[in-house]
């Protein structure tokens, strides 16, 4: 009998870009072993149009994506989370709900691509950089689960993943 998918909740203040992208990337790279979810402390109410466009460009589904509040995942009838990751600095500094099941948590701060001003090309590059950073961390996270680690080791590793410098995105820009 196969093990049920591990639930991972990505949190960001607005739940319109980074957490949404992370949700879909985890669903893709997790290959059924993980289920991505996303929410925000102050949801914008809509997914950013450039996030939708970029997800479509990289071949990830956008159906059913919506900006929602994290209280949906703190209710007793919500899916039990195995992991909760904040992907923006503001959400990391907020007082989060007590998550049922006491998931492993970490901060995976990613710069907000929606805050970039400039041409559409510059804005899309910021969105691509966010995808690249999230994808790198998610791939490492998924690979982590191929190892036999106890809870404390997993906690330490997901914190390490969140602290990675994102030189890959910087290098790609410089080339």
| Residue whose structure tokens are 């589904």 | 61
4 in catalytic set:
no
Total structural domains within the chain: 1
The DSSP bridge pattern shows strands 34-40 and 83-86 to be: unpaired
DSSP string covering 90-115: HHHTS-PPPPTT--EEEE-----GGG
**Residue 1 belongs to a domain:** no
Q: Exactly one of 12, 22, 26, 84 is catalytic; name it.
A: 12
Q: Tell me the residue range of the domain where 141 lies.
A: 6-174
96 in catalytic set:
yes
15 in catalytic set:
no
Q: What is the pLDDT of residues 19-35, one digit of tens each?
A: 999 999 999 999 999 99
**Residue 29 belongs to a domain:** yes
Assign residue 136 the CATH number of its domain: 3.40.50.2300
Tell me: pLDDT of 99 over 70: yes
% of the chain beyond a pLDDT of 90: 74
**Residue 168 belongs to a domain:** yes
Q: How many residues does the chain have?
A: 175
Q: Exactly one of 5, 60, 96, 140 is catalytic; name it.
A: 96
Tell me: pLDDT of 154 over 70: yes
Sign of CA pseudo-dihedral 61, 62, 63, 66:
positive
**Residue 36 belongs to a domain:** yes
| Residue whose structure tokens are 């990751």 | 85
Q: How far is CA 120 from the centre of its chain?
A: 23
Q: Supply the pLDDT for residue 93.
A: 59
User: In which band, very low, low, confident or very high, does the pLDDT at 67 lie, cut at 50, 70 and 90?
Assistant: very high
Q: Which residue has the higher pLDDT, 43 or 148?
A: 43
User: In which band, very low, low, confident or very high, does the pLDDT at 4 lie, cut at 50, 70 and 90?
Assistant: confident
Query: With 0-12 CB in 10 A as exposed, 13-18 as middle and 19+ as buried, what is 63?
Result: exposed
Q: Supply the pLDDT for residue 170.
A: 41
**Residue 126 belongs to a domain:** yes
Q: Exactly one of 17, 21, 88, 133 is catalytic; name it.
A: 88
Q: Supply the pLDDT for residue 15.
A: 94
Residues 128-152 have a mean pLDDT of 93
User: In which band, very low, low, confident or very high, does the pLDDT at 100 lie, cut at 50, 70 and 90?
Assistant: confident
């Amino acid at each position: 009998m196969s093990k049920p998918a591990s639930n991972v909740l990505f949190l960001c203040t607005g739940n319109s870009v980074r957490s949404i992208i992370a949700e879909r990337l985890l669903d893709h790279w997790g290959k059924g072993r993980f289920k991505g979810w996303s929410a925000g402390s102050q949801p914008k109410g809509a997914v950013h149009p450039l996030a939708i466009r970029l997800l479509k460009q990289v071949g990830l589904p956008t159906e059913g994506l919506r900006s929602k509040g994290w209280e949906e995942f703190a209710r007793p009838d919500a899916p039990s989370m195995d992991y909760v990751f904040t992907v923006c600095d503001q959400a990391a500094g907020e007082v989060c709900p007590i998550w049922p099941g006491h998931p492993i948590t970490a901060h995976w701060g990613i710069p907000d691509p929606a805050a970039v001003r400039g041409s559409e090309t510059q804005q899309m590059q910021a969105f691509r950089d966010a995808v690249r950073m999230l994808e790198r961390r998610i791939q490492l996270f998924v690979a982590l689960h191929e190892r036999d680690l106890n809870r404390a080791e997993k906690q330490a590793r997901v914190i390490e993943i969140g602290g990675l410098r994102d030189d890959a995105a910087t290098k790609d820009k410089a080339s």
